[in-house]
C-alpha cells in the first residue's frame, strides 16, 4: 500500500500523541485537532479512524496503536 505525504504526517502525529506520557489516552477529537493543525487542513473523523486501523494492521510500522502486552503478569517498568 503506497503511503503519501499527508498520511505519513498523520501517522507521525498520531504516534506522537499516543506515545506522549503527559496526556494519557488521547481521544479522537484531540487527534483530529492535532493532525489538522499540523497539515493546515481539516481532517475528518473517518480519516483518523482509518489511520488508526492501518497503523494497527501493519506490524512492520512499529506502531504504538497496539503495544505488546507483558506476559505472565509482569508489569511494564519504563
> Tell me: the pLDDT tens digits for 16-68?
998 888 887 889 999 999 999 999 999 999 999 999 998 888 766 555 555 55
Per-residue confidence (pLDDT) for residue 25, from 0 to 100? 82
Q: How far apart are CA 32 and CA 42, in angstroms?
A: 8
pTM: 0.68
Structural domain includes residue 68: no
Per-residue confidence (pLDDT) for residue 30, from 0 to 100? 94
Structural domain includes residue 73: no
pLDDT band at residue 77, thresholds of 50, 70 and 90?
low
Question: Total structural domains in the chain?
Answer: 1
Structural domain includes residue 30: yes
Structural domain includes residue 75: no
Per-residue confidence (pLDDT) for residue 68, from 0 to 100? 52
Contact 58, 8 (CB under 8 A): no
Amino acid at each position: 500500500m503506497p503511503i503519501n505525504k499527508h498520511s505519513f504526517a498523520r501517522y507521525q502525529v498520531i504516534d506522537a500523541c499516543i506515545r506522549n506520557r503527559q496526556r494519557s489516552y488521547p481521544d479522537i477529537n484531540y487527534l483530529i485537532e492535532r493532525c489538522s493543525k499540523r497539515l493546515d487542513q481539516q481532517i475528518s473523523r473517518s480519516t483518523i479512524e482509518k489511520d488508526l486501523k492501518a497503523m494497527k494492521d501493519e506490524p512492520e510500522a512499529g506502531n504504538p496503536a497496539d503495544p505488546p502486552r507483558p506476559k505472565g503478569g509482569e508489569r511494564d517498568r519504563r
